[in-house]
Structure 1
């Protein structure tokens, strides 16, 4: 993170990162602890915390909720402000009733902070982590993303996708976008066949995994 960078502290209404407010926050084992900790500001050792999670994981939505529920401030990405601005935001948070949340891809130890006083302060922050989605969260997020596009998805489509995909938020967003384009291009309702053909043709699911999961199960 360069100390020469300039910018303002990002507030919720300025965020345009694809995590729109019309998608509800879906809770699961990967994010429940982070959500819980964001509501326990009084237990933080300092008035600043870092929320670490991959893009598309709902982290900015969690930041919006944090601002709404605590009256705090959010820096959406350490690269969005200069180190001097972050240092001043830290000090302001300690001196006021407005806690500071920094949203990032990685913990502060990976930011390459040049300002010694800021590096020292960041070494004391609690870090809350969003993990990759479990099966239930992945399925619910796929359905929510399609609903945002105005496409009501039958449960069997999301249930088909989840065991065949790479388990990541990035892949969920890629899959939903690809299937949305395919359904519009062909003018078809999105069913299992179109889902399978689209995802296999674009390499979004592994052919061997798909074949193994598509094979009829036998009983002894």
Structure 2
């Protein structure tokens, strides 16, 4: 049978606070995010692996605090002054990408200082601790090393199946609990892998007009691994 040409008709992922799945893996990080008055000097690092929920958390935090959002690689010493008003909030995403980029490092350094001077709030997301970013600017590294950190842990027994159900639902797909439970027991506890796996299952099911079964899930799980990102 000829494979069917498929179009990506995925709905945007549900990303409100109500759609965030709370378990032991992320409960403490969420509690820290919800208490900005306790952040030392108004700054917090949110750290978690790919697909751990950083962008989801940052997204509804931006909405709730009317915050400005930018990516770490876009920072420069020249553009940070206009990003934060006195008392305002700012989110810098994917700060782990700035290591070795002199302009971005200097930009985050200036922004870090401006937030304190203007009594604002700064939330910085990254996949790893600052010591692993390859930072060249010593003053920035010293400030980040002493900053408060909210850590998103790997998915636990409750989170992984719930995320799988949500990822399928985002694609308007209903999957039997048997398939979800089978996957959750056999795959690595890696939310980025879960996202790529659900996308692959969706594509394969549509292209070959196959039902989503344990057999199809197993075939695609064997082809994917966390290192394939």
TM-score range, shorter-chain basis? 0.7 to 0.9
* Match 2:128 to one of 94, 106, 112: 106
Structure 1's unaligned 5+ residue stretches are 1-17, 206-220
What CA distance in whole angstroms lies between the structure 2 residues aligned with 1:168 and 1:197?
18
User: Among residues 124, 133, 145, which one is paired with 2:167 in the alignment?
Assistant: 145
Please say if 1:61 is aligned against 2:56.
Answer: yes
Q: CA deviation at 1:65?
A: 2.0
- Scaled by the length of structure 2, what TM-score is found? 0.73
State the 1:132 CA deviation. 1.0
CA distance in 2, matches of 1:26, 1:203: 24
Provide the residue aligned with 1:96 in structure 2.
Answer: 118
| Separation of aligned partners in 2, 1:25 and 1:86 | 28
Q: 1:136–1:92: structure 2 CA closer, same or farther, 3 Å change rule?
A: same
How many residue pairs match? The answer is: 186
Provide the C-alpha distance between the structure 1 equivalents of 2:144 and 2:114, rounded to a whole number of angstroms.
Answer: 14
Q: CA-atom RMSD, angstroms?
A: 2.2
Give 1:203 shift.
5.6
TM-score, normalised to structure 1, is 0.76
Does residue 47 (structure 1) correspond to residue 42 (structure 2)? The answer is yes
Offset of 1:111 from its aligned partner? 2.2
> Which consecutive aligned stretches of 4+ in structure 1 deviate over 6 angstroms post-superposition?
none
Unaligned ranges ≥5, structure 2: 1-9, 68-88
Q: What corresponds to 1:76 in structure 2? A: 93
The structure 2 residue matched to 1:85, chosen from 107, 120, 128, is 107
- Asked if the contact 1:133/1:169 (under 8 Å) is kept, the reply is yes
Contact 2:13 2:170 in 1 (8 A): no
Distance in 2, matches of 1:51 and 1:109, equals 14
For residues 157-177 of structure 1, the C-alpha deviation after alignment (integer angstroms, 9 at most, x for no partner) is 111111111111122122212
Q: After superposition, what is the alpha-carbon deviation per residue over 1:63-121, rounded to whole angstroms, capped at 9, x for unaligned?
A: 12222233421111223561121112112211234310111111112223222322222
1:120 aligns with 2:115: no
